[in-house]
Amino acid sequence: MTAFKKYSLNLHGRLVQIDQPLVMAVLNATPDSFYSNSRAIDRDAVVARVSEMVGQGADIIDIGACSTRPGAQVVDSDEEMRRLEIAVKAAREVAGDDMILSVDTFRASVARRCVQDLGVDIINDISGGDLDPDMHQVVASLQVPYVVMHMRGNPATMQQFTQYDDDVAAVVLEALARKIDDLHQLGVNDVIADPGFGFSKTMEQNYRLLACLEAFHSLHVPLLVGVSRKSMIQQALNCSAQDALGGTTVVNTIAMMKGAHLIRVHDVKAAVEARTLVSLTMQQTNL
């Protein structure tokens, strides 16, 4: 097990301590996300889903309005923003001002509007800035925490780019290190690193990243792990996304024991319970 390294995030002047793994709950304001139970495409559905997630102990709600599953067709920015405006406003109304809201977008214009007009706290970018060259500069100007994820290509093509010239963990680590350095140079103070499980990686490569997760602490930023119900679990267990909760919980537990700071999940209750048991174990280890 890896000792948990504490960090803090500056959310519009409010300092939030990461002194245990945070549970980031997925809310998809889309009709086509790969796991149907995560979808909430109108205000009433958002209210019901957010109420459930808050009640189960979510620390962050991550709202996406443009599906990024493998082979997904990308909606335009106007439609993405229309969906986000409904979902973010409803989520804030239900969850309250203290709940951390994140928006999952790769578009700088959408990020700017969500922060400035809707009060979003974190931008979560699956492309790490590759799909919009303005993203890093915009995040720097907004001064909000930024999740930089590793991916090659785009959601429609990413699974064509799984050939790595070196060990996948080493390549991903180096790529993230370069981007984090660039972001710091621009003045982005709070960066969160995501190795990008399931994005431009084969099943075996995903488990290589998991096995080497401790190496990513050398980035000296919080680590986000998002494996919930993904194909790396479905393929390994020969199950559907609907039946992948058990496998998801195991992988999330491994990630937390390796020091992950944020766990992005569809199932809040299971993640919170896993965190409790990992924390109890870690306390005994540290005696």
Active site residues: 230, 264
Q: Greatest CA span in the chain, whole angstroms? A: 54
How many CB atoms are closer than 10 A to CB 73?
A: 9
d(CA 255, CA 247): 12
**Among residues 23, 101, 1, which one has the least CA distance to residue 263?**
23
Residue 203 near residue 209 (C-beta atoms within 8 A): no
| Collapsed DSSP state (helix, strand, coil) of residue 24 | strand
Return the structure tokens found at 129. Answer: 């800035």
Place of tokens 């996304």: 241
Return the structure tokens found at 218. Answer: 């050398």
| Collapsed DSSP state (helix, strand, coil) of residue 146 | strand
